[in-house]
Amino acid sequence: MKKIMFVCLGNICRSPMAEFIMKDLVNRAGRADSFQIASAAVSSEALGCPMDSRTVATLRAHRIPYENRRAQKLTEAMGDEYDLLIGMDEGNLARMRHIVRKEDLPKLHLLNEYSGIPHTIADPWYTGDFETAFKEIRKGCRGLLDGLV
Ligand code: 4NP
């Protein structure tokens, strides 16, 4: 069982997008039973909020199944439980380093490490560009899954 936690600032745009894209990829690969996939925030801004409506619209446009969910905050215990904790940008990573235990620091990564895209995932909550975020996140998730064969 591989446990993957995607992390972003608010947990209503990028990391839930990554969660549902990755769940869809492992489902299609017939490997859903081998994975536990979730997402969380490093800030408290949107805790308890549903996904941004533009996140939902983008998932629907790409026919990615999703469940209604509410934003949760990354905890030290999650750092313990998960094998990989994957942030969307450097700001996320900096805050993740403060939340997890020292022993769990090697589990922290950036999603674009797996896509080969030479920059991190810009926050569509600020840019408004959910389609670009989706495509870059999907490329990262595909690379991640390919590396986990
Ligand atoms: P996300 O985008 O980190 O991709 O979920 C954001 C969502 C909400 C906020 C910031 C970023 N916020 O400050 O509420």
In this prediction, residue 98 carries a pLDDT of 98
60 included as an active-site residue: no
> Does residue 16 line the site of ligand 1, with CB under 6 A?
no
Distance 149 CA to ligand 1 centre (A): 32
Taking each helix axis from N to C end, the angle separating 53-61 and 14-28, rounded to the nearest 10 degrees, works out to: 30
**Per-residue b/e over 55-89, b at no fewer than 16 CB within 10 Å?**
bbebbeeeebebeebebebbeeebbeebebbbbbb
Note if 89 is an active site residue: no
pLDDT at 100 over 90: yes
Residue pLDDT, tens place only, 25-66: 999 999 999 999 999 999 999 999 999 999 999 999 999 999
Neighbours of 97 (CB within 10 A): 15
- Conformational region of residue 119, where left means phi above 0, alpha means psi within -120 to 50, and beta covers everything else: beta
**Does the pLDDT at position 149 exceed 80?**
no
Average pLDDT over residues 127-137: 98
How high does pLDDT run on average in the chain?
A: 98
